[in-house]
Structure 1
């Protein structure tokens, strides 16, 4: 037997076809993280006329990503009945802040809880004339880089686009950065001006979700971050590097860290699948496709492992012909770490060789070390499998 046709009341807003059935599932649709087409589809699914869906999606989009509004009742350019429909069927849900720590240098680290009770970390780094947010793409990590604290935590799952872009909304909430009256802050006034995918996880093993979240971040009618202010860091997932150039077009950073396959196999085990030669071949094409200015090579300085003059000269030979800068990262220790930081003199000697070869060689100043927020230190305290120092050293081939 078919359901009876119930006429729609004339009082209902013209862009609503029908109200949801009473026996419809009670779970609300989270509008955060939906691409524009997906947002339109979601609005149509709750009863918005197809002819009105694009306009309504644009309005809701601006309220969420440009104005930071979470209450449908405050979306004043939508009819009251339509706001009530949205409130009954949809929600604007972002990760829940569990803890917030502030370093002596102003760095902020947030532990946030996502669906399933899992937790990830986000770091905001304030600098003169800009602020950088480091976001996570996975709970734990697929990889087992032996110098990285996150790498000692097994992968739990990928983050959804809502959970990735939600980290940006969490930080903007805390920074009080949402503009008044919906007028976007000028770029020079932004506290959160740069975004780096350098938190927990390997972004290119969660490509589609990362891509969709970055499309939201770059949308000019919302958060409006330039692609040149977004940097994706990968350990070297070669097949996805080309897709990153074509489908995201952001800046690219590579966790390189070694100049021979023998050493990189230990430090960055993904090298066993795609070695240095394969990785460099993919990187040579990237700047041309994405119009990026240069590739950033991240190189953590490990005492007696990869910090010799020979390593520096070998690195220069390897990257020859690639527009690049070399980010030298003093190793940030963590409990049980099997490595030590190179001395300042050794780091500067390495940097001089890189600089004299014609490459920029900034030495990254560790930030947030006192709250374990520095590069390579992020790790959720709720992960189930914990490893002691001997286990970590054994897997690193150091014992």
Structure 2
């Protein structure tokens, strides 16, 4: 159970005469100038704090001729003697799930990353050339992360990368073709990624379709189900060798999962992927695919917890203005009407970025977030029996397409 945390940061204010400092390795200590004493615990809260070992993005530590340490903020062309890491200090956690809410529905993705240096990190974002995926990739890239755009349309993706490079010429963005309507494309993507990169710090399963009329993919599965769930599951399993201790898998689901109609008695391949338009409703297909996202994410978190891989699920926002509504004029009209009352794309990307990077989520896995705040998914989504049925069905459906003669190796390698 999470520790009780103060409702605001007012308790974090130091009493008069105290100063906060940080050691080279990131431990925070406190100096009492009146007594000349020091201590590791905050004089008001009694808690210990730590900071990242790295300076915020764009900062440099320097030493003057007389031996004094100072810090240079190259982006804003200013210097200070105060360690800039202290602005982002976090309390040490007794338990992995001890963290307080720092952001909300109005927070921008770039605000979540304020002061963070992601240099050396590698992220894959599916559907990164537009909408929430673009803002997620854009925000990560501006803070030094190497971002692999996993997209179907290479020309549109390159145009999106060019826009980012106009803002930050040295941004490191890569593109590898990924068509989620084809499981063999997923396999090819994973093989290409493994040739280029030896590790993966963040895997953001963002791409999705909404409101599609009934259609089957070239693999013979209902399109919404395959694109939103099945191919993402296969992609994640294929990329397991690149994921290690501290890597994060971020599953973009939706509050729509609460309106799914799947259960342990109704879940079947025909329910997940009907073969005809009879009784097909695009909205329910979407709801069910989003429930599959949560069930998959929670089951994956349980399976990979011992390996230290963090898996969390999120809802980005309601009816966010993006390409998601492009498939039917009624949805386009509805999204346009509510646009003034919904999140911007930067706000919608904030929870994805939060789950992918927030230091306080280190070790916290198998959680569901909305507005950068932990909340409970539906009871159905937390049903381990339903998750197991979905897992086995999904694996068999993947296997049926990849190569029935190869056994599980076709899925896992």
- TM-score surpassing 0.5? no
Using the size of structure 2 for normalisation, the TM-score is 0.28
Using the size of structure 1 for normalisation, the TM-score is 0.29
